[in-house]
Amino acid sequence: MSETPDPLDAEARAVLAHNDRGGYTVPNRSVYPFQWNWDSAFVALGFATFDEDRAWRELETLFKGQWDDGMVPSIVFHAPSDEYYPGPPAWGTTHVPPTTGISQPPVAATAARVLVETASSHSALDRAARLFPKLMAWHRWWHEIRDPDGTGLVTVVHPWETGRDNSTDWDEPLAAVVPTVSVAALRKDNRRVDPAERPTDAFYDRVMTLVAEARALGWDGPAVARGLSFRVCDLGVQCILARADRDLLALAGRLGEARAVADLRGWIARSDAAMAQLQGADGLARSMDLRSGRLASVPGSAAFLTLYARTASAEEAARLAQTLRAWSDACPVAVPSCSPSAPGFDPSRYWRGPVWAVVNRMVADGFDAYGHPDLAARIRRDTAAAIRGAGFREYFDPRTGAGLGGEGFSWTAAMWLSWCGSPAAPDRLTPA
């Protein structure tokens, strides 16, 4: 990479500006017209490369959607739009502004730590201090309401809550959900994106059945965590939360939050001990169906996030390195979202094979931390090459690097600016 400005830098900033709604950023204009939770955490990292105040506002605006019990929802509907289904009426929550009733992977604490540690002004720590109680309340929600028995394994109750919506990990748990609704006529996503790249109607019927179940419970947190037809420990959320706990612990130390330090250390110890329950016979971690106790039949890209979480052993890191190299024999663009040998693998359908820049960012972080900088560099190069070839697309074909899904995608632009397009960006997000 050259030290001279790359033309794509300006294009990436233009994508963020185009999708900026004044304090929050939509993922893209045509498919996702609201503020998405983990999207905004990654987008803040992109803004931080040229506008630190705007980066902080992205996180601060997200927490306007926080519920009284601490949950930060997957979507905040700041302004009305009829361009997306399911919107506020389908969710039936009572929060103002309107929100969904489910959460998403908790990346925000990691993003906040990055903003503090890369800040050029002293105001960053003050803003982190104001945000800290809200971050802590969200983490408490995960560890208490979504782990009501204190097992160390948190519960997700909806595939969309994982961020990896249509992953092969959910095929078996979703098969047990008996659909009670038919929503094909209400969908809008598959009118704006090739339906072959989106989830099926059968998937939508099942996930909207889960929304109906939660509405019937009045979106009561403990009742939802124990009562829905889909209850899974998602390896992705489990690992992202483990990493975010470590990053929030670092912030707590800097802010002198002694009680939070004690709570976080307890949650971290409990979660780390529980990770052994997610190990498959091949030594690779998987998601678990909490209703049946069964692990996912094949590993997905979330298996690599144990490195990002800093919960893996050196031996597991070596197995994961070997696994990625094997996957790369079939899919030369790293990292496919599930094993290319999996029965459900589809290189162009949403989360069933395609490459996602934000997942690559986390996977590269983990490989670098565990002494595999060659793989971290390879993932970074592959991500940059896909973006350079196809633009700031939502996701990419792992065989060819072709762009898929929505165009002008905010978090892809953010990853270009904060990581794969910048020669100065470190491979690791934080030193956790």
- Is there a contact between 75 and 100 (Cβ–Cβ < 8 Å)? yes
Per the residue annotation, which of 394, 397, 407, 427 is the catalytic one?
394
- Is there a contact between 32 and 163 (Cβ–Cβ < 8 Å)? no
Q: Rounded to an integer, what distance in angstroms lies between the CA atom of residue 372 and that of residue 374?
A: 5
58 is catalytic: no
Give the number of other CB atoms < 10 A from CB of residue 283: 15
Q: Rounded to an integer, what distance in angstroms lies between the CA atom of residue 258 and that of residue 263?
A: 9
394 is catalytic: yes
- Is there a contact between 100 and 161 (Cβ–Cβ < 8 Å)? no
Q: Rounded to an integer, what distance in angstroms lies between the CA atom of residue 246 and that of residue 290?
A: 25
Residue with tokens 């059968």: 202
Q: Rounded to an integer, what distance in angstroms lies between the CA atom of residue 418 and that of residue 290?
A: 36
Q: Rounded to an integer, what distance in angstroms lies between the CA atom of residue 427 and that of residue 95?
A: 38
Output the DSSP codes for 339-380.
-TTSTT--TTSTTSS-B-HHHHHHHHHHHHHTT-HHHHHHHH
How far from 2 is each of 113, 338, 375, 424, CA to CA, in Å?
28, 33, 21, 11
Per the residue annotation, which of 165, 171, 172, 205 is the catalytic one?
165
Residues 6 or more apart whose CB falls under 8 angstroms from that of 324 comprise: 304, 334, 335, 367, 375
Amino acid at 228: L
Give the residue numbers marked as catalytic. Answer: 165, 394
